[in-house]
Structure 1
Amino acid sequence: MITVDNIAVEFSGTTLFKDVNFVINENDKIALMGKNGAGKSTMMKIIAGVQSATRGKVSRPKDTIIAYLPQHLLTEDNTTVVEEASKAFSHVYKMRDEMDVLNKQLETRTDYESDEYMSIIEKVSDLGERYYALEDVNYDAEVEKALKGLGFKQTDFTRLTSEFSGGWRMRIELAKILLQKPDLILLDEPTNHIDIESVIWLEDFLVNKANAVMVISHDRAFIDNITNRTIEVTMGRIYDYKANYSHYLQLREDRRLHQIKAYQEQQKFIADNMTFIERFKGTYSKTNQVTSRERMLEKLEIIEIDEVDNTALRLSFPPAKRSGDYPVTVEHLTKKYDDHVVFSDVNMSIKRGEKVSFVGRNGEGKSTMIKSILGEIEVEGTCSLGHNVQVGYFAQNQAALLDNEMTVFQTVDDAAKGDARTGIKNILGRFMFKGDDIDKKVGVLSGGEKTRLAMVKLLLEPVNLLILDEPTNHLDLKSKDVLKEALQDFDGTLILVSHDRDFLQGLSEKVFEFKNKRVIEHFESIDAFLERNRIDSLKAIDLMG
Structure 2
Amino acid sequence: MALIDVANLSFCYDKSYDNIFENVSFQLDTDWKLGFIGRNGRGKTTFLHLLLGKWEYQGKISAPTLFDYFPYPVPDVSLPVIEILEEIADFQLWELIRELNLLNVDEEVLYRPYFTLSQGEQTKVLLAALFLNPGHFLLIDEPTNHLDMQAREVVANYLKGKKGFILVSHDRWFLDQCIDHVLSINKTNIEVQKGNFSTWEQNKAFQDHFELAENQRLKKDIRRLEESAKRTSRWSDQVEKTKIGSRNSGLRPDRGFIGHKAAKMMKRSKAAQLRKEKAAEEKQQLLHNIDSADSLAINPLIHHAKRLVDISDLAVTYGEYPVCQGVSFCINPGDRIALCGKNGSGKSSILKLLCKDNISYTGVVTLASGLVVSTVSQDTSFLSGDLSAFAKENRLDESLFKAILRKLDFPRIQFEKKMEDFSGGQKKKVLIAKSLCQQAHLYLWDEPLNFIDVLSRIQIEDLILRHRPTMLFVEHDRTFVDKVATKKIQLE
- The TM-score normalised by the length of structure 2 is 0.76
Whole-Å separation in 2 of the counterparts to 1:357 and 1:8:
43
Deviation, structure 1 residue 487: 2.8
Contact 1:335 1:379 in 2 (8 A): yes
Give the secondary structure class of the aligned counterpart of 1:413: helix
Q: Deviations over 1:100-150 (max 9, x none)?
A: xxxxxxxxxxxxxxxxxxxxxxxxxxxxxxxxxxxxx6145236436744x
* Structure 2 residue 447 is the aligned partner of structure 1 residue 470: yes
State the partner residue of 1:79. 79
Give the secondary structure class of the aligned counterpart of 1:471: coil
User: Which of 8, 21, 24 does residue 26 from structure 2 map onto?
Assistant: 21
Q: Deviations over 1:374-400 (max 9, x none)?
A: 443453522312322333232211x22
* Structure 2 residue 461 is the aligned partner of structure 1 residue 479: no
State the partner residue of 2:196. 244
Deviation, structure 1 residue 200: 0.4
Give the secondary structure class of the aligned counterpart of 1:401: coil
Unaligned runs of 5+ in 1: 94-136, 516-545
Contact 1:413 1:424 in 2 (8 A): yes
Whole-Å separation in 1 of the counterparts to 2:40 and 2:481:
23
Deviation, structure 1 residue 75: 4.1
User: Which of 149, 170, 174 does residue 218 from structure 1 map onto?
Assistant: 170
Contact 2:293 2:455 in 1 (8 A): no
- Percent identical pairs in the alignment equals 18
Q: Deviations over 1:11-31 (max 9, x none)?
A: 4584713251223152x2222
- Cα distance 1:160–1:7, how it changes in 2: closer, same or farther (>3 A)? farther
* Structure 2 residue 481 is the aligned partner of structure 1 residue 499: no
Deviation, structure 1 residue 78: 4.1
Matches for 1:428-467 after TM superposition, within 5 Å: 428-432=402-406, 437-467=414-444
Whole-Å separation in 1 of the counterparts to 2:374 and 2:317:
23
How many residues matched?
445
- Which residue type is aligned with residue 371 of structure 1? K
Whole-Å separation in 2 of the counterparts to 1:160 and 1:325:
46
Q: Deviations over 1:490-535 (max 9, x none)?
A: 55542211111111112223332233xxxxxxxxxxxxxxxxxxxx
* Structure 2 residue 317 is the aligned partner of structure 1 residue 316: no
Contact 2:97 2:107 in 1 (8 A): no
Contact 2:297 2:467 in 1 (8 A): no
Bigger mean CA deviation after superposition, 302-311 or 224-233: 302-311
Whole-Å separation in 2 of the counterparts to 1:401 and 1:13:
27
Matches for 1:39-54 after TM superposition, within 5 Å: 39-51=43-55, 53-54=57-58
State the partner residue of 2:4. 3
Contact 2:40 2:452 in 1 (8 A): no
- Cα distance 1:414–1:304, how it changes in 2: closer, same or farther (>3 A)? same
Give the secondary structure class of the aligned counterpart of 1:45: helix
- Cα distance 1:59–1:141, how it changes in 2: closer, same or farther (>3 A)? closer
Deviation, structure 1 residue 205: 0.8
Unaligned runs of 5+ in 2: 237-258, 265-269
- Cα distance 1:206–1:19, how it changes in 2: closer, same or farther (>3 A)? same
Whole-Å separation in 2 of the counterparts to 1:8 and 1:205:
32
User: Which of 15, 30, 34 does residue 34 from structure 2 map onto?
Assistant: 30
- Cα distance 1:53–1:313, how it changes in 2: closer, same or farther (>3 A)? farther
Whole-Å separation in 2 of the counterparts to 1:15 and 1:88:
30
- CA-based RMSD of the aligned residues comes to 4.0
- Cα distance 1:444–1:19, how it changes in 2: closer, same or farther (>3 A)? closer
Contact 1:314 1:431 in 2 (8 A): no
Deviation, structure 1 residue 352: 0.6
- Cα distance 1:187–1:327, how it changes in 2: closer, same or farther (>3 A)? same
Whole-Å separation in 2 of the counterparts to 1:269 and 1:384:
66
- Cα distance 1:488–1:226, how it changes in 2: closer, same or farther (>3 A)? same
Matches for 1:232-311 after TM superposition, within 5 Å: 232-259=184-211, 304-305=285-286, 306-310=288-292
Give the secondary structure class of the aligned counterpart of 2:146: coil
Whole-Å separation in 2 of the counterparts to 1:228 and 1:14:
29
- Which residue type is aligned with residue 469 of structure 1? D
Deviation, structure 1 residue 189: 1.8
- Which residue type is aligned with residue 458 of structure 1? S
* Structure 2 residue 148 is the aligned partner of structure 1 residue 195: yes
- Cα distance 1:442–1:235, how it changes in 2: closer, same or farther (>3 A)? closer
Whole-Å separation in 1 of the counterparts to 2:213 and 2:293:
24
- Which residue type is aligned with residue 26 of structure 2? N
